[in-house]
Amino acid sequence: MQSQCTWTQPRMPTPLCFKSSTLLTFSISKHLHTKSFDSLASRKGISYYPFLMATLSTPSTTEKDAVSFQSESTQKTQQPLQVAKRLERFKTTIFTQMSSLAIKHGAINLGQGFPNFDGPEFVKEAAIQAIRDGKNQYARGYGVPEFNSAIAGRFKKDTGLVVDPEKEVTVTSGCTEAIAATMLGLINPGDEVILFAPFYDSYEATLSMAGAKIKCITLRPPDFAVPINELTSAISKNTRAILINTPHNPTGKMFTRDELNTIASLCIENDVLVFTDEVYDKLAFEMDHISMASLPGMYERTVTMNSLGKTFSLTGWKIGWAIAPPHLTWGVRQAHAFLTFATSTPMQWAASVALRAPDSYYVELKRDYMAKKAILVEGLKAVGFKVFPSSGTYFVVVDHTPFGLENDIAFCEYLIKEVGVVAIPTSVFYLNPEDGKNLVRFTFCKDEETLRTAVERMKEKLKRN
């Protein structure tokens, strides 16, 4: 109960903390009466998370009276009016915090996942041309037709699947919005959704906005393989959806064909939807990227999400998309219409040019990133980190414990202040922060000189205990 309060923003007024612990008691006591809670909680490694929003969606009279009593008392004490209870799950992101600290100490930022080099000229030129040609008004809500076609064309090249750009492709403000629209359009309050930890922080947040019950399966070093037994116990006819991020942020793991096949058969057996985040699909180094949608029987139940930002080093343009069969696309489009209505028009035109880039672009992209990766990985090993193998993305996860700091956050703060390099503490990517305390994430989406300098600083100033 106490932990709920520490997750809130420092400035949250105390009445909100008090309310949250009351309601947590309510939701736990409700579930102690059900057999399923007992049996799941007793299994090792699964955190069953009876999310508050699920029980709040049908408030009892007593609960509501408690709420209104609170707001009357706040009236009298002139506290600021209450923000929604769902915000207890929201905190200022670790990335922003680390970035400010980095600037303060003049540290090299290998934390936040965006390049310090820019996107290709031909794509930028296309955007400029679109602006000059007057393409500055609302695009069609679900995407500029030419862009939808380009997305379908690229998807066919990548997976062999033929999709209808008009009925099965939706353009969104980045993959982040695709995820939000998918959760809000396809998940009911109380639905069970399975996530693999560590996970990108927006998944948990948007699932909480949709009122989902999150079931978490932890991927563990050294290879972050999917624990099949845990997955088989977790998935049931009550599961609504499972979210897969491959190539995976932060570990760089890529789901193998075997893993995907196993997950697929469990999903078909239990009638579960799959949401995939494949934004790093073109940064696949050690094996080929496989889209779940391309497996037999899976297209009809999968939402495949991707974006322009990582592949084309234009993370600030916010161009993403979701590909799904018409009945699922419908839900995604409804939510999208109310979240942002339409996506940046000139950038969509430029993105259609980008997606028609020749194979040589992708070959060169991989080659450049592999060179950067080599610099970082060799450097981290030489410095003394235990480096875990990363098959894809531009991230690498390492064990920092050889350096004797208490946990990942302490290590990252030390790294910024004493060494002048930024990494991200991975505990923020877990439901249970304890699971991530030995690991930190470095990124290599930086120019080679920056990477070399960072490695030099660490070699010089970071000493093993």
Partner 1 sequence: MEKKLSSVAKSFTPSPIQELSHFAQRCNAINLAEGFPDFPAPIHLKIAAVSAINSDFNQYRHVQGICEHLARTTKEMHGFDVDPQTDIAICCGQTEAFAAAVFAVIDPGDEVVLFDPSYETYEGCIRMAGGIPVYVGLEPPYWSLDSDKFMGSFTRRTKAVILNSPQNPTGKVFTKDELEIIAGACCRRDCLAITDEVYEHLTYENIKHKSLASLPGMQERTIITSSLSKTFSVTGWRIGWAIAPAFFASAIRNIHVKLTDSAPAPFQEAALTALRSPPDYYESLRRGYESKRDYLVELLAKIGFQIQFKPQGSFFLFAELPKNSSLSDVEYVKELIEQAGVVAVPGCGFFHTNLSSEKPSQVSCNYQKRYIRFAFCKSDATLAAAAQKLGELQLGVSSQ
In 32-144, DSSP assigns E strands to 46-49, 108-109
- Which candidate, 456, 437, 443, 459, places its Cα nearest to that of 384? 459
Is 308 one of the binding residues for partner 1 (CB under 8 A)?
A: no
How many positions of this chain bind partner 1 (CB under 8 A)? 87
454, 139 Cβ separation under 8 angstroms: no
341, 197 Cβ separation under 8 angstroms: no
Cβ at position 347, least distance to partner 1 in Å: 6
Considering only the stretches 134-142, 231-239, 379-387, 425-433, report the one whose residues sit in contact with partner 1 under the rule CB under 8 A: 134-142
CA distance 412 to 94: 11
295, 266 Cβ separation under 8 angstroms: no
Cβ at position 429, least distance to partner 1 in Å: 14
Q: Which of residues 340-399 bind partner 1 (CB under 8 A)?
A: 340-347
When binding is defined by CB under 8 A, the residue of 3, 136, 232, 238 that contacts partner 1 is 136
Nearer to partner 1, 178 or 409 (CB): 178
Q: Which of residues 198-217 bind partner 1 (CB under 8 A)?
A: 201-202, 205-206, 209-211
Is 167 one of the binding residues for partner 1 (CB under 8 A)?
A: no
CA distance 453 to 108: 8
Considering only the stretches 34-42, 69-77, 153-161, 361-369, report the one whose residues sit in contact with partner 1 under the rule CB under 8 A: 69-77
Considering only the stretches 41-49, 150-158, 287-295, 331-339, report the one whose residues sit in contact with partner 1 under the rule CB under 8 A: 331-339
Neighbouring CB atoms inside 10 A of 62's CB total 9
Is 50 one of the binding residues for partner 1 (CB under 8 A)?
A: no
Radius of gyration of the chain from its Cα atoms, rounded to whole angstroms: 23
Sign (positive or negative) of CA dihedral 225, 229, 233, 238: positive
When binding is defined by CB under 8 A, the residue of 337, 357, 410, 431 that contacts partner 1 is 337
CA distance 46 to 48: 6
Q: What's the full length of the chain, in residues?
A: 465
Q: How many helices (H) and strands (E) does the chain have?
A: 18, 14
Q: Which of residues 83-112 bind partner 1 (CB under 8 A)?
A: 83-87, 90-93, 112
Cβ at position 341, least distance to partner 1 in Å: 4
When binding is defined by CB under 8 A, the residue of 15, 45, 141, 221 that contacts partner 1 is 141
When binding is defined by CB under 8 A, the residue of 115, 143, 227, 250 that contacts partner 1 is 115
